[in-house]
Each structure stands twice: as C-alpha cells, then as structure tokens.
Amino acid sequence: MGRDGAAGWMRIDLHTHSTASDGTQAPAEVVASAREAGVDVLALTDHDTTQGWAPAADAATRLGVALVRGIEVSCSDHGRSVHLLGYLPDPDHPALAAELRRARESRVGRLRRIVELMAADGLPVTYAQVQAQVPPGATEGRPHIADALVASGTVATRDEAFRRWLGNDSPYYVRHYAPDPVHAVELVLEAGGVPVYAHPFGRDLSTTATDRRIEAMAAAGLAGLEVHHRDHDADAVARGLALAERLSLLVTGSSDYHGAGKENRLGEHTTDPAVLAEIEARSSGVVPVLR
C-alpha cells in the first residue's frame, strides 16, 4: 500500500482479469468489486485482449474508480511461458494489435487438441463442455477447460484441475503462438505502453525468470518488475527488489485477480502511487480513465 500525501492511503492494484479472458466476472463487475474492496486505482489486464476496456471504462466512470487500461501479453521464451503486462498502450497500434490477434487466433483449436488428448486417456471431458465455459469473444485458455471440469464435478477448483492435468509440464499440454518477451517489450513500447514483467518468479520452476532473461528485457526497455505478487515467496521478493535496484526498474505489486477462478483477492498486493505516476508519465498510448 502506498501513501498518497494529504489524500491519505491510496490502494492501487495493477493486474486483474475479467471475462474478456480467464476471469470469472464481467469487466464492469471487476470494477464494482474493486470499489467494494477499497481499491482506488485498478488496472484491467486481460490476456492478449483489450476487449474489456470499454465496459470497464464505463463502470469506472460511473463508480468512481480510476482505471488504468492494460493488457497481459502471453509470451514464449524458447517454449517457456512469460507474461508481460503492458500499461496504457494504444490498442490500435498496428504491430501490437496484429501480434495480439495472432496469439488469440493460435489459441483457437488448441483447447480442442488438449481436450482430445485428455479424453483419449479416459478423462471425462468434451470440447462442447469446454466451449460452454468460454464467454463470447474471450481469449480462450486452459482455465476454461478447468471450468468445464469443475462444472461436471470432476474437480472442485481450477487449481485442482491445473495441478492434476493442465500444468505446463502435463502430457496434455499444447502450445500456442506467443511472441518472444524481448519483442513483446518492444511492441508495447512502440504502442506507447509501459511494459512490466508479470510475476517473474512464479512458483513454476520451468518458467521462473533467469537474470539473463530479465537483463535482455531490460536492455529492450522493460520498465518494471511485478515483485509483490502472491506467487512470490520472501526469497523471490528479495531477488526481485535487488534486480530492480541493479537494473533501475520500477517495482509494482498487484493481485492478479481472476474473480472466483483463483484465490487472489483484489488489493492483496498494491503499487506505490509514485510508481503509478511514473508509469503514467512514461505512457503515451491512452490516458488513464480518472474519477
């Protein structure tokens, strides 16, 4: 939580998901939940899409929550998953928009292939059940398969489905196209956005960031590291703070809220107002929606 001078404490949560990707609440509902949770500034950062921006902006104006429009770009570093947050980019920047479209399109058909592999192994899931879980126009992803398994009573939670069958090291895992993280940093910058590496040291050892990867992204203009995140233990936080110091990167903290899809609660980690001010100052794609 950061101190906002005379205005008192400001709660700034810069990483959330809606039904435009794999969150379980519509964009306007995420904004309403943020307000209830006492979040003053919210970023909506759906995977590979800006589809949720317009309804979120309407709700933000109506409910008096400041909105930072963002994305979470799925990237692949030689097959290893990397997530890059991009704040306030121009959604119509041709190169960025084309890359996001390409990534979304390459996800189409992927869930069917994963489900076919699972069904061939005797798991009780069909593609029709999965399709029923994908909201119209949403960036589809493995959480929608998890939702089908929850709906049929096969597992209790998304997390159980991931732990049993949907992890990156599962035999059922199927890749989709995703840009290299250094290229994604360049694209976000070209679009006037501010790139921040999301949960760089997540619990999954196969995707946790090496110093080399972060250095390469920093050399390309990476602005910050999402250091304060539920997936980071104390060692990961210490490592992130040291790297941010050495490479002159901003430090953010956020919830990565997915509605009922994950335990993550709005505002459970927050970003300092001075860091948000720096993100705004460095952006030129779109302006924040203010109260």
Number of residues that bind ligand AMP (CB under 6 A): 12
**Per CB under 5 A, which region of 72-80, 134-142, 244-252, 272-280 contacts Zn ion?**
72-80
Q: Give the distance from CA 272 to its chain's centroid.
A: 19
Give the contact letters, 206-245, x = binds to ligand AMP (CB under 6 A), - = no.
----------------------------------------
Q: What angle do CA 68, 180, 19 make, to 5 degrees?
A: 40
Q: Which is nearer to Zn ion, 99 or 256 (CB)?
A: 256
Positive or negative torsion for Cα 212, 180, 284, 255: negative
Gap between the Cα atoms of 253 and 12, Å rounded:
8
Maximal C-alpha separation, the chain: 62
| Residues between 20 and 49 with contacts to Fe ion, criterion CB under 5 A | 22
First and final CA of the chain: distance in angstroms?
20
User: Which residue's Cβ has the minimum distance to Zn ion?
Assistant: 256
Distance CA 7, CA 115 (A): 51
> From the list 256, 264, 266, 286, which residue makes contact with Zn ion (rule: CB under 5 A)?
256
Interface pick for ligand AMP out of 70, 143, 240, 267 (rule CB under 6 A): 143
- CA distances from residue 272 to 83, 123, 268 in whole angstroms, order as listed: 21, 46, 13
Residue 22 or 40 having the CB closest to ligand AMP: 22
- Phi/psi region, residue 192 (left: phi>0; alpha: psi -120 to 50; beta: rest), is left
- Supply the minimum distance, in Å, between the C-beta of residue 22 and Fe ion: 4
| List 11, 35, 69, 83, residue binding Fe ion (CB under 5 A) | 83
Measured on CA atoms in the order 52, 100, 161, 236, is the torsion positive or negative?
negative
104 binds Fe ion (CB under 5 A): no
| Minimum distance from residue 72 beta carbon to Zn ion (Å) | 5
Q: What does the alpha-carbon distance between residue 279 and residue 83 come to, in Å, rounded to a whole number?
A: 18
- For Zn ion, the closer of residues 49 and 129 by Cβ is 49
Which part of the chain contacts ligand AMP (CB under 6 A), choosing from 57-65, 98-106, 231-239, 256-264? 256-264
| Minimum distance of ligand AMP from residue 70's CB (angstroms) | 14
Q: Which of 58, 116, 159, 280 binds ligand AMP (CB under 6 A)?
A: 159
Q: What is the spatial distance between Cα 125 and Cα 179, in angstroms, rounded to a whole number?
A: 30
- Tell me the two tokens of residue 225: 């590291």
Q: Burial level of 115, CB count in 10 A (0-12/13-18/19+)?
A: buried
Q: Which of residues 182-241 bind Fe ion (CB under 5 A)?
A: 198
| Chain residues in the site for ligand AMP (CB under 6 A) | 22, 47, 74, 141-143, 158-159, 162, 258, 261-262
| Chain residues in the site for Zn ion (CB under 5 A) | 72, 256
